[in-house]
Chain A
């Protein structure tokens, strides 16, 4: 059987003193795509934030192992170096920092941490062009400040572009479909599918089935009120589509 990448046990987490996750268990193996579905406010984005180490999220109980390491003791950048990636629901704008410099810094940090030599400027630009093309991003966006003035669709494509550049082992896509029209959705899904391999895995967080028509999950979880109430195969998506989250309880 393929190796376990992520192993979450009894995870409880608070934001501003309020418990949002009440004990989440989740196991993800190499090559798998997991969908986490659930209504608004279920704790889906909190799970993504806790896994990537966002400040302000406090884990009160439970454990998370990522590739055998205690993920929760690591800084956000150390988690990225290990191969974790979060596609933000609301990508952040960074005025004054161009996308190309941002990616240069990110790649340089990661390669340094992995003991790899820095890419030459030519190698870097080749990679940048190739990965931008993957999500059909306009090349001029590379020179613009990170996400500043990008449309909603451009921001989401830019997230997948960054994911392609960093080649993560585990990608968490937080509501990547929100605010996307069908064409953009297809482009984003196409990018994600191209990056799928037997060695990596993804978590697709969504409250809507549309994206899962294009990125077909192996396992589907329903998260409600901070706990996973049901886990099944992809057939669960159509059940949710037909009857909503109301009728799903363990």
Chain B
């Protein structure tokens, strides 16, 4: 059975554990909207062969906001697939931490696991801490993780402004394009809610 879930911090109760049985597929998106502090503390176990997880998240941190993601994806059996993409912004004096663990049990062969976390730091006073981790006890797996923390490209901004796009709109375009791989997952209502 396929499930598609969206959890918004401060609005929805997000379960702490998900277990995916054989052939089950879960698509979940975690949203941390502007101004809402809190944490997502989630453990997802892939317990049956052929299970698939497609997990993504967006965080829009500003002011004194503090958001923590603690994501534990556990491949307990082989032939499962998990992808994770977390993207977001840290502005003002906000704090964002992302702790992501991908665990692959001994014998969970043919596991495919991908984990990415990319942040834009919009203020010198904001702080982003990202620690993606892999813990792998099987030898025939494809696993990767990546993490970047960057700022808005000044070159892009000047190019846009030289064409008459005002500074605020230029920033908005850059931010939208950065977040678009995750924004694409949302329906209109959630999109309006988060932006």
Q: Is A92 a contact partner of B156 (Cβ separation < 8 A)? A: yes
Answer whether A76 and B169 are a contact pair too, CB < 8 Å, given A92-B156, A96-B180: no
> For residue A103, which residues in chain B have a CB less than 8 angstroms away from its CB?
163
Shortest Cβ gap from A94 to chain B (Å) = 5
Determine whether B19 belongs to the interface, using a CB cutoff of 8 Å to chain A: no
> For residue B18, which residues in chain A have a CB less than 8 angstroms away from its CB?
none
Determine whether A95 belongs to the interface, using a CB cutoff of 8 Å to chain B: yes
Determine whether A162 belongs to the interface, using a CB cutoff of 8 Å to chain B: yes
> For residue B160, which residues in chain A have a CB less than 8 angstroms away from its CB?
94, 102, 105-106
Q: Which of B76-84, B93-101, B126-134, B171-179 contacts A (4 or more CB under 8 A)?
A: B171-179
Q: How distant is the Cα of A52 from the Cα of B160 in the complex, in angstroms?
A: 12
For the residues of A in contact with B, the DSSP-based class is helix
Answer whether A96 and B165 are a contact pair too, CB < 8 Å, given A54-B158, A55-B154, A55-B158: no
> For residue B178, which residues in chain A have a CB less than 8 angstroms away from its CB?
96
Q: Is A109 a contact partner of B156 (Cβ separation < 8 A)? A: no
Determine whether B148 belongs to the interface, using a CB cutoff of 8 Å to chain A: no
Q: Is B165 a contact partner of A105 (Cβ separation < 8 A)? A: yes
Determine whether B164 belongs to the interface, using a CB cutoff of 8 Å to chain A: yes
Determine whether A166 belongs to the interface, using a CB cutoff of 8 Å to chain B: yes
Q: Mark B143-175, 1 if CB is under 8 A from A, else 0.
A: 000000000001110111111111101000110
Which residues 56-112 of A have a CB within 8 angstroms of B?
75-77, 79-81, 85-86, 88, 91-92, 94-97, 101-103, 105-107, 109-110
Determine whether A15 belongs to the interface, using a CB cutoff of 8 Å to chain B: no
> For residue B163, which residues in chain A have a CB less than 8 angstroms away from its CB?
80, 102-103, 106, 162, 166
For the residues of B in contact with A, the DSSP-based class is helix
Q: Which of B160, B163, B166, B169 has the most CB of A within 10 A?
A: B163
Q: Is B173 a contact partner of A97 (Cβ separation < 8 A)? A: yes
Q: Is A77 a contact partner of B165 (Cβ separation < 8 A)? A: yes
Determine whether A26 belongs to the interface, using a CB cutoff of 8 Å to chain B: no
Q: Is A105 a contact partner of B158 (Cβ separation < 8 A)? A: no
Q: How distant is the Cα of A248 from the Cα of B162 in the complex, in angstroms?
A: 33
A113 interface neighbour in B154, B155, B159, B164, Cβ under 8 Å = B164
- Please, how many residues of chain B have a CB less than 8 angstroms from a CB on the other chain? 20
Q: Which of A55, A96, A101 has the most CB of B within 10 A?
A: A96
> For residue A92, which residues in chain B have a CB less than 8 angstroms away from its CB?
155-156, 158-159
Shortest Cβ gap from B58 to chain A (Å) = 15
Q: How distant is the Cα of A105 from the Cα of B162 in the complex, in angstroms?
A: 12
Answer whether A97 and B169 are a contact pair too, CB < 8 Å, given A76-B158, A76-B161, A80-B164: no
Q: How distant is the Cα of A216 from the Cα of B162 in the complex, in angstroms?
A: 26
> For residue B155, which residues in chain A have a CB less than 8 angstroms away from its CB?
92
Q: How distant is the Cα of A85 from the Cα of B161 in the complex, in angstroms?
A: 11
* Residue ID in chain B nearest A165 by CB atoms: B163
Q: Which of B162, B169, B173, B180 has the most CB of A within 10 A?
A: B162
Q: How distant is the Cα of A54 from the Cα of B174 in the complex, in angstroms?
A: 18
> For residue B167, which residues in chain A have a CB less than 8 angstroms away from its CB?
75, 77
* Residue ID in chain A nearest B175 by CB atoms: A96
What would be 14 A-B contacts, judged by CB atoms less than 8 Å apart?
A: A52-B162, A54-B158, A77-B162, A77-B167, A94-B156, A94-B159, A94-B160, A95-B177, A96-B176, A96-B180, A106-B160, A106-B164, A162-B163, A166-B163
Please report B residues at the A interface, Cβ cutoff 8 Å: 154-156, 158-167, 169, 173-174, 176-178, 180
Please report A residues at the B interface, Cβ cutoff 8 Å: 52-55, 75-77, 79-81, 85-86, 88, 91-92, 94-97, 101-103, 105-107, 109-110, 113, 162, 166
Additional pairs, 5, CB under 8 Å, beyond known A102-B163, A105-B169:
A53-B162, A76-B158, A76-B161, A92-B155, A162-B163
